[in-house]
Each structure stands twice: as C-alpha cells, then as structure tokens.
Chain A
Amino acid sequence: MSQPPRSSSYTEYHPRWYRPRVSTWWWMGRWSYLKFIQREISSVFVAWFIVELLMLLHALSNGQGAFPQQAYREFLIWLRNPVVVFLNLVSLFFVVFHAVTWFNLAAAAMVVRVKGKKIPGALIAGSNYAAWIVVSAILAWALLRA
C-alpha cells in the first residue's frame, strides 16, 4: 500500500495544525464587530472635546500684560468659526452617544444586591441617568446664574 504524500513539516507525533490568520478586515464581516469598531473610532471626537478644553485653559492662562483677556477673546472668536461649530456639534453627538451606551452597560458591570436580591439592571442604569441629570443641572445652575 502506497503512503499518502506528506507535507514537509508533518511528523507522526506532531501533526501539522492549520492555524488560520485573522484578517486585518475582521471587523467588516459582522454587524456587531462593525458597531464595536465604530464606537471605538468615535472616541476620537470625545478626545477632541478634551483637546478643546485644554486649549481653553491655555487661552485663559495666557492673559497677562496690557491685554489680559486677549487670548481668551481670540479663542471665543475661533469657537464661532462654522467649521469648529460643526465639529463641536458632531463631537457633542458622539459624547452623548458614549455617555448613553456607557450608562446602559453599567448594569452589566455592577451587580447590586439588597437583602440577597439582585437589583434589576434598568434601575442601575436609571440611577446613573438620574445622577447625570442632577450633576448637569448643578453645573448649568452654577454656570448660567450670572
């Protein structure tokens, strides 16, 4: 009986396994993977808000000498630029999207038990939303009362 042809790397006791490679485009093949990657990429807009906050702080700290508020005023004018307004609106959308999805996931990470009974996920997400609204209201009151 003739022997079947063998691959060069095959040995009797160490058969050659097939190790599939993961494609660079792995995230294109499945809707849930694509949604995940979209969410990850949209974090760039969240980072943009942080960069903008740092720019604001930089403008505020630069005010010295004869024109103490010059840099801050220039920053405000720059903020009115339609391109920046558009970018900020897009960023706001994604920041809210990340906040909402984050709060919705909170129930998966937090298991709270009262008297041995698991509190429903909706209540945990709901309390996060309530805290968000309260903190936002306090900030709005503090910033807008003037």
Chain B
Amino acid sequence: MAETIILEVTRYSPEQDTEPHLQRYEVPLRKDWVVLDALNYVKDKLDGSLTFRWSCRMGICGSCGMMVNGEPKLTCATFLSSYAAHGVIRVQPLRYFPVIRDLVVDIGDFLSKLQSVKPWLIPKEQTQTFEGEYLQTPEQLDVYKQFSMCINCVLCYAACPVYGLDPVFIGPAAIALAQRYNMDSRDTGAQDRMDVLAQHEGIWGCTFVGDCTKACPKHVDPAGAIQQYKLTATVDRLKSLLTPWGTK
C-alpha cells in the first residue's frame, strides 16, 4: 500500500472566485483513517483555510456529508483505504445544494421543507407532564423505528436527481421523517401532513430512481417511505371520493 494518497478537494471562496476549482493535497494513507481524518490533516498541517463541516466523527451528527469520488458519503465513515487503488480521492460539496465556501453547503432549503411536514408528535390531546408519558408497545415502536434513524445528513438529497432538477420537490428525508410521525401510534397529525405531502412537490414528484435509499448511511429507506405514502395517499383519496360524507 502506498504511503500517501492524493486528496482532490473543491475550493470556493465567495469573495474571490466565480466558480469552484479543485486543489490537490498529498495526505498520509493510513489504514485507520477516514476521509474526514485526511481533511483534518490538511486543515491542521497543510492549509488552514480549508473549510468543511464536521462534529461527532461517528456517523451520528450527520454534518460531514460530502461527495467522495462522485458518491454522497459521510466522510467520517468512508475509509481512505477503500480508494487506495484509485490513487486519488475527489472530495466535493454535496451535490444539488448551493455552496457557501469550499465543502460547506447551505441546507436551509431542506430544513424549511422538513419543518413544513411537522416532524414532531401531534397527540390527540395535549397532556400535562405529571400525567405521565405517552405509552407505546415495542410492536408499535417497530412500525416506524427504521424511519426514526434518519440523522438529517441530506445524503439522500445529493443522490436524488429529481431534487436536482426540480428544487421545489420536498425530498426523500423530509418525507421519510413525515412517515416516521405518521406511523407513530401516539401521533394524530397524519391529515395535517397529508396536505403538504400529497401534492406534486410532495410524494408525486418522486419518480422512484431509488438512489436515496442506496445513499442512506442509516438504512432508513426513504424511497420505500415515499412509495408507501403514495399508496396511503391513493387509498385516502379513493376513500374520500367514495364516501365524501365520511372524511373531513
């Protein structure tokens, strides 16, 4: 194994550049190093001006998502050794998001979309704290648990060509998280979320390319969540057409 590897990193300074360019750095190719370690090596030893986001280094915070050789990845979970044969690792900002500086993108669009689907519990009746918890059985937890693993890293947005082509699309993670609450036995907000989700910019924008699910580092399966919601929305629409007196 070679002792070093070339890191090709996107640089963009909004004050000086009109568009991004790539800069090469030679970094040690250590077996236990991930791409984030290499970026930190560059920042500490070679070029302190390199800007990127990171926090936990253990795949929990979802901050260090970047494009690594064209694939959306958490850089804290992507080992340099996986790319040793290539000799070069190209690290770029997450695709389809506006670049603020170097590898930092603006995810404000995702955050406002996430908020629009009300990703919080909407219980039937608001209870006081002293009345105790909203109880749930392990079986009820199991129904939505997979979707609750989302860490908002937005790798799924960087994998989704629909989001790239049509930025009004609400996107995979926001829909998966809406499903996480819709399927929660303690929640009664499904109808509120339906108004946002059952639109063209919502679930119907999805053409099921399926790459969001492949990119997800937490195995949330947002593509599955969207298709399941399409079925729910269709059944709901049919019900309201057949029994107009029954709903709303």
Q: Does B161 lie within 8 Å of A40, measured CB to CB? A: no
The verdict on A7 contacting B15 (CB below 8 Å), with A18-B99, A22-B165, A108-B224 known, is yes
Within 8 Å by CB of A109, from B100, B106, B165, B231, lies B231
Task: Answer yes or no: A6 CB below 8 A from chain B CBs.
Answer: yes
Q: Does A18 lie within 8 Å of B208, measured CB to CB? A: no
Task: Answer yes or no: B139 CB below 8 A from chain A CBs.
Answer: yes
Q: Which residues of B contact A110 (CB under 8 A)?
A: 228, 231
How far is B14's CA from A6's CA once the two chains are assembled, in angstroms?
A: 8
How far is B100's CA from A116's CA once the two chains are assembled, in angstroms?
A: 46
Most chain B beta-carbon neighbours within 10 Å: one of A6, A22, A33, A109? A109
Task: Answer yes or no: A16 CB below 8 A from chain B CBs.
Answer: yes
How far is B17's CA from A4's CA once the two chains are assembled, in angstroms?
A: 11
Within 8 Å by CB of B98, from A5, A19, A33, A108, lies A19
How far is B164's CA from A19's CA once the two chains are assembled, in angstroms?
A: 11
Q: Would you give the 0/1 interface string for A108-128, flagging 1 where the beta carbon is closer than 8 Å to chain B?
A: 111101001010000000000
Q: Does A18 lie within 8 Å of B14, measured CB to CB? A: yes
Q: Which residues of A contact B223 (CB under 8 A)?
A: 108
Q: Which residues of B contact A118 (CB under 8 A)?
A: 142
A-B contact pairs, 27 of them (CB 8 A): A4-B15, A10-B14, A15-B15, A15-B101, A17-B99, A17-B100, A17-B106, A18-B12, A18-B98, A20-B96, A20-B99, A22-B96, A22-B161, A26-B164, A32-B214, A33-B161, A33-B211, A36-B207, A36-B210, A40-B207, A105-B227, A108-B223, A108-B224, A109-B227, A111-B228, A116-B139, A116-B142
Residue of A nearest to B214 (CB): A32
The verdict on A32 contacting B231 (CB below 8 Å), with A10-B15, A16-B14, A18-B20 known, is no
How far is B210's CA from A32's CA once the two chains are assembled, in angstroms?
A: 9
Interface of A is mostly: loop
Residue of A nearest to B183 (CB): A111
Task: Answer yes or no: B61 CB below 8 A from chain A CBs.
Answer: no
Those of B213-240 within 8 Å (CB) of chain A: 214, 221, 223-224, 227-228, 230-231
Q: Which residues of B contact A32 (CB under 8 A)?
A: 209-211, 214
Q: Which residues of A contact B210 (CB under 8 A)?
A: 32, 36
Task: Answer yes or no: A86 CB below 8 A from chain B CBs.
Answer: no
Residue of B nearest to A106 (CB): B227
Q: Which residues of B contact A40 (CB under 8 A)?
A: 207
Residue of A nearest to B231 (CB): A109
What is the CB-to-nearest-CB distance from B63 to chain A, in angstroms, rounded to a whole number? 18
What is the CB-to-nearest-CB distance from B19 to chain A, in angstroms, rounded to a whole number? 6
Residue of B nearest to A19 (CB): B98
Q: Does A36 lie within 8 Å of B209, measured CB to CB? A: yes
What is the CB-to-nearest-CB distance from A114 to chain B, in angstroms, rounded to a whole number? 12
The verdict on A15 contacting B227 (CB below 8 Å), with A32-B214, A36-B207, A116-B142 known, is no
